[in-house]
Amino acid sequence: MSENLYDRLAAGFPADRTKPCFLLSDGSAVSYGELEEQVGRVAGRLVAEGVQPGDRVALQAEKSVAGVIVYLAALKAGAVYLPLNAAYTPAEVDYFLKDAEPAVFITDDVAYVREAANHRRLARAVPRTAADLAAIIYTSGTTGRSKGAMLSHGALAANAVALHQAWGITPDDVLLHALPIFHVHGLFVALHCAFLSGCPMVWLAKFSDGEVLAGLSRATVMMGVPTFYTRLLANPAFGAEAAAGVRLFISGSAPLLPSTFAEFEARTGQRILERYGMSEAVIITTNPLHGERIAGSVGFPLPGVELRIGGGEETGVIEIRGPSVFGGYWRMPEKTAEEFTADGFFVTGDVGRQDADGRVWISGRAKDLIISGGYNVYPKEVELVLDETSGVVESAVIGVPHPDFGEAVVAVVIGRGEEAALIAEARRQLAAYKAPKRVVFVDELPRNAMGKVQKNLLRDRYAGLFAGS
């Protein structure tokens, strides 16, 4: 039997194909039937152009329904989908194209879909096994060469089914989709949940608090990155009334600050459900739909996911094994071997711990760990203390070279306050070696498209802070 992911997803499409799939900002809609028809034609075009099973089909374009059609058509044609961030420069794209060698590279998805209108529909999906590759997602890696995580049809299907169940998505839901679709969050997590239940999506090209506020009045589920929630909270029009029709707010891709969680609950009466994932495994853990959602914890491993802490200490690098874990990095067998243990666990690079109840708590990336005077400092522990201090909106704690300590703890802070007072507060609550040696005030922290603070840029910016001291 074919295990083509497209067939698995299409099995969830509603029996009544006139039901909308995409609810667009201009008031129009694209039905599931129209989606299916166009996917068939674009898949037909790909095959007619010579795309063979396993060939890569790359797309670099701004978010649009046409992009989703190209994605599904690539799956249906048995190809391997390769989404590229529209913000990548030609030099960056050049690297991805040389590395992945796609048979087709599409930059104008709208035209590509339109021109497929006269092609014969590909009636059946090209048979694929669970182990066959469905997509390559280049990690947003900030150091070294970007690596292509290889995700199979089986891995993506397993994760989609697990999430669909964990979050109880039904045909009556309406999903607000304001995420980019070049990344696993918007592409796999959100789209697959909607397709498996055949529910409509309020489809927004990008996040804008005004459009999201309007969209929420039609939605029952929202998926977002933490920045979406802080921006909504910054809009005084957002409150319990605007959120009343929404049964589930989900956050991931970057840590949700406990202060955001608390403010959101105070404002709307709803507790954001935080989950944790990565390109290499899609979603790994989630807070419960029905049980208690705890600020600062990313919840429990999904069914079928084995999770352990490496290194024999309470806190260490999270290792995982399970049906959705990727098959390795594209054309990097050595890198792949380095990041898997002998017994087949993937070493995530995220540092965390699992409490007695099984809840997982993440303290940051292993590469962000600071070693100051021989002591390990987990930035998250310091950030939590600073974030609770009055006047501080958000902090990012980094290690920078120091002639005496090797690395010194430095806090980059959005907010108002006195450097000395913040350092004193940190020393009051933490062992002295964990307290920042310097605090720098900024208006904004550098973030990538998914809202992650880019600590590597901060480390570069402040690398000379202690030079000559």
Binding site for ligand AMP (CB under 6 A): 139-140, 184, 252-255, 274, 276-279, 298, 348, 350, 362, 365, 450
* Shortest distance, position 299 Cβ to ligand AMP, whole Å: 9
CB of 38 or CB of 279, closer to ligand AMP: 279
* Shortest distance, position 350 Cβ to ligand AMP, whole Å: 5
Closest by alpha carbon to 9, among 178, 149, 128?
128
CB of 133 or CB of 450, closer to ligand AMP: 450
Q: How far is it, in rounded angstroms, from Cα 426 to Cα 388? A: 10
Tokens of 196: 């498996």
DSSP state of 259: H
* Shortest distance, position 380 Cβ to ligand AMP, whole Å: 9
Tokens of 102: 């796609």
Q: C-alpha distances in angstroms, 91 versus 75, 146, 433?
A: 27, 13, 42
CB of 112 or CB of 345, closer to ligand AMP: 345
* Shortest distance, position 164 Cβ to ligand AMP, whole Å: 19
* Shortest distance, position 158 Cβ to ligand AMP, whole Å: 18
Q: How far is it, in rounded angstroms, from Cα 344 to Cα 451? A: 31
Q: Bridge partners of 346?
A: 320, 340
* Shortest distance, position 298 Cβ to ligand AMP, whole Å: 5
Closest by alpha carbon to 328, among 280, 370, 285, 382?
280
CB of 46 or CB of 382, closer to ligand AMP: 382
Helices (H) and strands (E) counted in the chain, each on its own, are 16, 23
Q: How far is it, in rounded angstroms, from Cα 57 to Cα 73? A: 10
What lies within 8 Å, CB to CB, of 49 at 6+ separation is 103, 104
Contact 151, 181 (CB under 8 A): no
DSSP state of 366: G
Q: How far is it, in rounded angstroms, from Cα 54 to Cα 124? A: 16
Contact 349, 366 (CB under 8 A): yes
CB of 10 or CB of 320, closer to ligand AMP: 320
CB of 9 or CB of 184, closer to ligand AMP: 184
* Shortest distance, position 187 Cβ to ligand AMP, whole Å: 11
Q: How far is it, in rounded angstroms, from Cα 176 to Cα 178? A: 6
* Shortest distance, position 450 Cβ to ligand AMP, whole Å: 6
* Shortest distance, position 171 Cβ to ligand AMP, whole Å: 28
Q: How far is it, in rounded angstroms, from Cα 133 to Cα 78? A: 9
Q: Bridge partners of 372?
A: 375, 406
CB of 60 or CB of 251, closer to ligand AMP: 251
CB of 232 or CB of 351, closer to ligand AMP: 351
Tokens of 26: 């201009």
Q: How far is it, in rounded angstroms, from Cα 102 to Cα 233? A: 42
CB of 39 or CB of 272, closer to ligand AMP: 272
* Shortest distance, position 184 Cβ to ligand AMP, whole Å: 6
Contact 182, 85 (CB under 8 A): yes
CB of 216 or CB of 298, closer to ligand AMP: 298
Q: How far is it, in rounded angstroms, from Cα 393 to Cα 413? A: 8
* Shortest distance, position 165 Cβ to ligand AMP, whole Å: 20
Q: How far is it, in rounded angstroms, from Cα 6 to Cα 465? A: 52
CB of 77 or CB of 362, closer to ligand AMP: 362
